[in-house]
Amino acid sequence: MTAKRAATLILSLFLIFTAGAAHARGGVVLALSGGGTRGLAHIGVLEILEEEGIPIAGIVGTSMGSIIGGLAASGYSSAELREVIASLDLTNLLSEKTNPIFVPLSQDSVTPRSKVPWVAINSSGDVVGPLGGMSGVKLLERFAQLASRSQIVRFDELSIPFAAVATDLETGEKVVLRTGSLASAMRASMAIPALFDPWPLGGKLLVDGGLVSNLPVETAKELFPGYPVIAVDVSGTLKNRKDIRSLVDVIDQSLTIFTRRNVENEIMKADLVISPPVAGVPIFDLTHASRIIEGGRQATMDRMAAIRNLADNAPPVAQREALCIAASVASIRVEGATPDLEQRIQKRYRSWIGKPLSNINMVRASREIAGQEDVLAVDYRFEEAGENLDVIFVVQRNPELEINFGGYTTNLHPHRWLYIHGVRRDLFSDGDSLRFNAKVGEQWGVDASYLTTPEKNKSWEVTISAQNWELETNKGTRSWDRYAAGLTRRFSTGSFQAGLGYAFERVHTGGIDYDASGPTLFLTSNTLNDPTDPTSGSLFHLQAWWPDMEEVLYRVTYFQAARLSDNWRFYLRAGFAEGDETAAGGNRAVYLGAAEELYSYSGNPIQGERMFWWNAAFRRILMRSWWGALNTEIFGGMGFVYDDTGNRYRDVWEAGISFSVPGFLFDGKLMFLYNDEKDFKVGFFIGSPVWGHYPLP
């Protein structure tokens, strides 16, 4: 036998034996507990099992365990999970309102930023209050994007069979989710009571599974009999009194107390327990993500000998890829929508029928449907129809009536209000809506806007408005009452929205009434990647009115956002406005600073025929938490005012630094300003302004 043949024989025997050894190694089942961001340690556990070649026969997760487990089951490697966490803006996903200092509100909007209704009436006429502090709709959308790589009907069709555990809020029973929408299962499993709205699914109202099974060992043994169950416990320990400093700390402590017994009962049934060192980690803090993941790695390495022993004596696991069904769409169905909305959805996407199913299209369609005014959230699932699949959109509609209370105050100008804002839907037909906003303070205002349909590309809008204003300008005191009404035909395509209409206005000032009417126009292009905390894209808005066919009054605003790094943002805002100082007793002039174009001039705006301004800001995120973020912004800007002869007669500038806390419980800013008049000011802002200048820009 030649040396070459001998080497070949030895290599062949080696491959046979090693292949046999690899085949002989069995799999383990993971029971991943809840624990908020402490659950990032699950990634470290998965990472070590992946590196050591330990097959996973199944995963059962609760709360954060369901999120990490669901993504791993759908084919994400541990390295990809690290990338997902690194790119995750948890503060933004948890927020219901969070606006950087320079994000402009649409000028034709009379809606404040608050997204949390204090009072709502459902379709049955029952009065309901908030069911949680956060809706979690953004989380659902993000989960749907992440889970879109697998097209499945049952969770055991994933690359790793999976189940999520939730709690039925009505009966208190455990609910094991194994079919339907993976995104909805993850969202339901992590619906921490008081923090998140319960999630409706399958006719049940579901909340966090940790209430009944925070470490789902029993469920894992029931679903995967014969396999050893490794319990990964990140439920945490009780905090000391000095560490209980916020509402979330209280909820975290309460959940730990409440879940302690069910964890103790189930942990005894596990074949092996991994307990990463997560004591003291807040449940919504990604600051120390790498350290938490490393803790999961180390805790798993410490138990590696026992894990290998379990795997070597367990049944083998067939290797398989995440299932991507090569099926076509058999039908489009809709659940939870009105007959009119159901018909619109089916008509919009009926071209899919008979064509291959695309998860990318599903995510896009869900986002399109959720963009309609009467829709709160949209999810989807698939059901088998022979060799093909039925596509089912699951729609959650907004309540018929929502009422918000809020306010706005600052020390820099007199425009301070308490306001009540409401939306009444399905007033005369399915999907129509009436928005109203009333504000009281040193100045008062009432706005109402009726949309005939939630379809932005073919709706009519009726607007009425009454405003009282008083300004201390460089040319003296200006005060007036303005009453207006108008009709607009709205259009929409892609990122563009437009409207053409006609408006009437009466201005009462100095005992004299001035009437005018004429066509109106607005045009908006919005490519911002997020409506509240954008990191890329731009927003362009034009609003114009042509009173009595004389001089066109208009306002143009432009906003650009850019992400410089994980914690740095850049914002640029610019605008141009054309007024008419000679009309309506001078009250159709432009006023630089009156709508906070330059903050240091907001209490003493500069009157003119036209104006141009710009400002830019570099924002640094200092701290992130469940309630929002603490930001600091270094900013500066300039403004130019022109008279009716076209001459530029005032150039002004300001610079400053601000600290802002935008969030769904509190929206405040503290500013330190310096301007061209060598005027140093310290200003604060609490709440969101509602300007309401219709039909003037």
Q: Hey, what's the torsion of the CAs at 354, 357, 362, 364, to 10 degrees?
A: -80
Neighbour tally for 126: CB within 10 Å: 9
Q: Are 639 and 611 in contact (CB under 8 A)?
A: yes
List Cα–Cα distances, 110 to 166, 434, 465, 689, 690, in angstroms. 39, 12, 10, 10, 6
Burial of 523 per CB tally in 10 Å (0-12, 13-18, 19+): middle
Strand partners, 419: 406, 439
SS3 state of residue 428 = coil
Burial environment of residue 476 by CB neighbours within 10 A (0 to 12, 13 to 18, 19 or more): exposed
Dist CA 227 CA 72 (whole Å): 19
Residue labelled with tokens 């605003």: 557
For residues 515 and 512, give the distance between their C-alpha atoms in angstroms, rounded to a whole number: 10
3-class DSSP state of 24: helix
List the catalytic residue out of 63, 114, 135, 235. Answer: 63
In DSSP terms, 381 is beta-bridged to 392
d(CA 380, CA 144): 9
Question: 119: which 2 tokens?
Answer: 């009072």
Active site residue 208: yes
Rg, C-alpha atoms of the chain: 29
DSSP output for 177-243: E-BS-HHHHHHHHT--TEEE--EEETTEEEEETHHHHSS-HHHHHHHSTTS-EEEE-----PPPGGG
β-sheet bridge partners, residue 229: 29
Rounded CA separation 253/235 (Å) = 10
538 given a catalytic annotation: no
Of 154, 263, 183, the closest CA to residue 218 belongs to: 263
Which of 89, 208, 374, 430 is catalytic? The answer is: 208
Q: Quick check: bond before 695 cis, omega within 30?
A: yes
Question: Which residues are known catalytic residues?
Answer: 63, 208
